[in-house]
Structure formats: structure tokens, C-alpha cells
Amino acid sequence: MSNRLVHPLLQEIGSLFARSGKQVFLVGGAVRDMLLRRPFSDWDLATDARPEEVDGIFRRTGRRVNVIPTGIKHGTVTVIYRGASIEITTFRTESVYRDGRHPQEVRFSASVEEDLSRRDFTMNAIALELPGGRLVDPFGGEADIGNRVIRCVGKPAERFSEDGLRVLRAVRFAAQLGFEVETASLSAIGEALDTVAKVSAERIRDELDKIVSSPKPSTAFLLMEKTGLLPLILPELALCRGIEQKGCHRFDVLDHSLLACDYAARKKYPREIALAALFHDTGKVKTRKRGEDGVWTFYRHEGESASLTRDILFRLRYPNAVIEKTVHLIEEHMFHYTEDWTDAAVRRFIVRAGEAHLQDLYALRFCDAFGTAGVEPSPEMLLPLAHRVEEVLRKGRSLSLKDLAVSGKDLIAAGMKPGREIGIILNELLETVLDDPEQNTQDKLLEIAGNLRKRYG
């Protein structure tokens, strides 16, 4: 690799280390992505200098530099140098893994080769010497990158049993980079399921996030299915295999869901939409019934899917806001607009969906449609509904409880008892206003409230 490809800031850091008689290399994803000519996210450096020596090397420059002991136990410091944030880790070897998660002890090492040998895949075990740009590639990583292959460093079964996260990383990289997992590594995955079971929910979540935002999430999920990972990590999804739907559907529920998720990823929709696309039909497993005519029905499956999805995302420790949004989209994904919808029906749809979520709900419908037919849906598919929604919104926005011309306080002022009854009446008033926005004046609503109260009283 020619010197010119190395970023000037990295060359400068390389020279600083060389002047102190120390080695430093660019390692990990940045080297891989550089060889793939992909944009890379972060710079990781590896060095034979100890953390305190790294600190000294930067201090001697006399520049303002911040050396933060971010992972000092593992020999890592984060250096903020000329505005860049760079992780620098002393060469390590990791030996005993007792719990399949954390190495029992971390020992520093004198050689870059040894440091590379503890890394997961050959493509991630290449070092680029700084400042010169020479590649250190003891495991044939560059060739594997050329052949688009994910191969474990060393014996796959051993490497996976040391750390179950590597298994998830393998299938994630397959989806992210469009690489094949080499056969021996792939067959070792099935043997490592016990270790994967020990991986923390947060790390599984982070990998799932990377999978659903990769160019083709289905690649990872199909590999997970083939190796037995899917029933372990997302059993709700694994159960969708073989759930036939007939009618307008060509695919079973699993393939349908994966296609829907691929569509979300391809369109770069936000992660809530991709997750909703992935899980929106999981409830079909439980709600499936065969009618007298032999046709399957899935009555109210969206409610069941929503509840399963809440469980899955909670289990994987997703933030509440992500859970609520995803679950809401799934709960509302079954709308079926026809031209004979009255304005009141359109208004009810807007209230249920929530104005802020309409675009995302439309996006989910596009994923769903792609998953059903396997071809790009017509961009005009939702225009008739979208136009009606705009029209209705333009006519008036009295759409939620807070938009009513009366509030709970007004009802109390008009002599009603505080309590549950007020809530019931306010919701009835909202229904009335949805049917007929003209009713949304204080006088009219108070009058209606009085009548309702007589009915309930």
C-alpha cells in the first residue's frame, strides 16, 4: 500500500512514535474498510508503548492534547489530538476466557503479530504500519477481503467458544459487507450456541441494530436460521418459518418479514421502521386459523405482533422511545383505505395513527407491500389516502382530546364530579367531534356533556 493513502494525521502520529523508538499501527475495521475503499468510522491504533508511555509521547509534542484513560485495564487510552479522537491500545494477548465473555486476564505483548492473532476475523487482523504504510497481514486477510470471505483467525470452534459475540459479528459482517462466511467458520457457529447464550442483551441489540441498517439484513437472518442462532436470539421470528399465508402472499411469514426489512434498509428508513417491518407479522403464528373455505385468517394479528415486539425489544434493552414507536407502528399497520371512507373515518385514522407518525406508517406499508409481492410497489400506492388525510387536516385540526373546545376543568366548573366519568365523557365528546367538527364549540360540547351525564348518571 502506498504511503500516499495514509492520512497525514496518522503519518504525523506515526512519526511521533518512531522518534520515541516505538511502533504504532492502524488496526481493525479502519484497515479493512480502507482496503475495501469503504468509508470508515473510527481509528484504532495499536502500539508496543505502554499507556503511560503513550501519554508521554503526546505530552512531549507541547501541543494541547488530551489523553484519557478510557480502558486502562485493557491498555487503551483515547487521545484527542488536533480535533481527532483516536483509541490507542498497547499490544495484547488474551488468554483464558472462563465465562465466554471476558478474557480472564489481559497481558501486554511485544509483537503486533501476537496482537493480531487475538482478533476475530482475518479481515480484521491486518495492521498498517505508521508512518510508512507497510501492511502486516499474517493471516491472509487482504486475500480474504479480495475474495469477500469472512474467516476466523485460528480454529473457528475455539475462537467462537472464547467469545460468543464473534458469532454475531460474523453474520452481521456478512450482511454489512456482502461477504460469505467461510464453510469451517460457518459450521462452527452451530457448536458455539451455548457461548452465544451468554452474550449480554445490549451487545446483541447493538449487532441487531447494525444488521437492520446494513444493505441486506436478510443475509444475516438467513445465516442465523441456518446455524440455529435465530431460535436462540429471536425465537418469535424463527417460528414464522413455514407459516403459509396463501391468497395474495407468495412467501411464508418469515420470508415476507425479511423482504420487508430489506426494503426498509435499502430505503434507509429509520431503525424503528426496519424493526417494525421485521416483526410486524410475528403475531400471525398464534392468531392463524383456517376458515371453512380452507383459507387462512390472522384475525387481529397486529395486536399480537405488537405485544410480542414489545417483549423482544424490552428483552434486548432497547430505549423506551424506540420500543413505543416500533410497537405503535405495528399496532396500526393494518389500515385499508377505500374511497368510500367518510371524512370521519379519515379523521379516526389520523387520530389512531397520530399525525406525527403518518409518514412512518406509510413507509412501513411500502415495506409490507414489497414483502408481499417481492417487487417495488407503485410509488402512487398510498396517494389517494395521503390526499384525503391532507384535505381533512386542512379542514380542521380538532383531532385529539387537547384540541376539544372544552377541557376536564371546564366540565368540573360546569358542575361535574372529578373522576373517571369525566374521562369517559371527554372521549365521547372527541368521538362526536371526529364525526362532525362543527360540534367543537364550548356551548355545544357542554350541552352534549350534560346529556351524556344524564345517560351515565
Question: Using CB under 6 A as the criterion, which residues of the chain lie in contact with ligand ATP when the complex forms?
Answer: 28-29, 41, 44, 119-120, 124-125, 163, 165-166
Which of ligand ATP, Mg ion, none is residue 328 near (CB under 5 to 8 Å by kind)?
Answer: none
Q: In angstroms, give the least distance from the CB of 243 to ligand ATP.
A: 33
- Smaller CB separation from Mg ion, 220 or 406: 220
Q: Are the C-beta atoms of residues 104 and 97 closer than 8 Å to each other?
A: yes
Which of ligand ATP, Mg ion, none is residue 166 near (CB under 5 to 8 Å by kind)?
Answer: ligand ATP
- Smaller CB separation from ligand ATP, 98 or 289: 98
- Alpha-carbon distance values, 169 to 120, 138, 264 (Å): 9, 21, 21
- Smaller CB separation from ligand ATP, 165 or 237: 165
Which of Mg ion, ligand ATP, none is residue 75 near (CB under 5 to 8 Å by kind)?
Answer: none
Which residue sits closest to Mg ion, CB atoms considered?
Answer: 29
Q: Give long-range contacts, CB 8 A cutoff, 24+ apart: 346-350.
A: 346/388, 346/389, 346/392, 347/392, 347/399, 347/434, 347/437, 348/434, 349/389, 350/389, 350/392, 350/393, 350/399
Q: In angstroms, give the least distance from the CB of 427 to ligand ATP.
A: 48
Residues 256-295 touching Mg ion, rule: CB under 5 A, are none
Question: Among 152, 148, 211, which residue's Cα sits nearest to residue 179?
Answer: 148
Q: In angstroms, give the least distance from the CB of 344 to ligand ATP.
A: 50
Which of ligand ATP, Mg ion, none is residue 57 near (CB under 5 to 8 Å by kind)?
Answer: none
Query: Which span sits near Mg ion by CB under 5 A: 38-46, 245-253, 264-272, 343-351?
Result: 38-46
- Smaller CB separation from ligand ATP, 28 or 156: 28
Query: Which span sits near Mg ion by CB under 5 A: 28-36, 74-82, 238-246, 408-416?
Result: 28-36
Question: Among 144, 9, 138, which residue's Cα sits nearest to residue 86?
Answer: 9
| SS3 at position 90 | strand
Taking CB under 5 A as the criterion, the residue among 7, 11, 29, 296 binding Mg ion is: 29
Q: Please tell me what DSSP assigns to residue 359.
A: H
Which of Mg ion, ligand ATP, none is residue 320 near (CB under 5 to 8 Å by kind)?
Answer: none
Asked if 71 is part of the footprint of Mg ion (rule: CB under 5 A), the reply reads no
Q: Are the C-beta atoms of residues 159 and 125 closer than 8 Å to each other?
A: no
Q: In angstroms, give the least distance from the CB of 357 to Mg ion.
A: 33
Which of ligand ATP, Mg ion, none is residue 165 near (CB under 5 to 8 Å by kind)?
Answer: ligand ATP
CA distance 47 to 135: 15
Asked if 140 is part of the footprint of Mg ion (rule: CB under 5 A), the reply reads no
- Smaller CB separation from ligand ATP, 130 or 329: 130
- Smaller CB separation from Mg ion, 16 or 26: 26
Which of ligand ATP, Mg ion, none is residue 204 near (CB under 5 to 8 Å by kind)?
Answer: none
- Alpha-carbon distance values, 217 to 102, 173, 180, 222 (Å): 28, 10, 14, 9
Q: Please tell me what DSSP assigns to residue 95.
A: -
Total residues interacting with Mg ion, rule: CB under 5 A? 2
Q: Does an H or E element contain 68, and which?
A: strand 66-71
Q: In angstroms, give the least distance from the CB of 40 to Mg ion.
A: 7
The identity of residue 272, as a single letter, is E
The identity of residue 242, as a single letter, is G
Return the ∠ at Cα 112 (arms to 17 and 159), rounded to 5°.
145
Which of Mg ion, ligand ATP, none is residue 120 near (CB under 5 to 8 Å by kind)?
Answer: ligand ATP
Which residue sits closest to ligand ATP, CB atoms considered?
Answer: 29
Q: Are the C-beta atoms of residues 218 and 182 closer than 8 Å to each other?
A: no
Which of Mg ion, ligand ATP, none is residue 338 near (CB under 5 to 8 Å by kind)?
Answer: none
Kindly report the backbone phi and psi dihedral angles of residue 82, in degrees, each rounded to the nearest multiple of 5, phi listed first. 50, 45
Q: In angstroms, give the least distance from the CB of 31 to ligand ATP.
A: 8
Question: Among 232, 105, 216, 255, which residue's Cα sits nearest to residue 168?
Answer: 232
Q: Are the C-beta atoms of residues 229 and 208 closer than 8 Å to each other?
A: no
Which of Mg ion, ligand ATP, none is residue 209 near (CB under 5 to 8 Å by kind)?
Answer: none
Residue 127, all three cell numbers: 495492521
- Smaller CB separation from Mg ion, 123 or 426: 123
Q: Which residue ranges make up the site for Mg ion (CB under 5 A)?
A: 29, 42
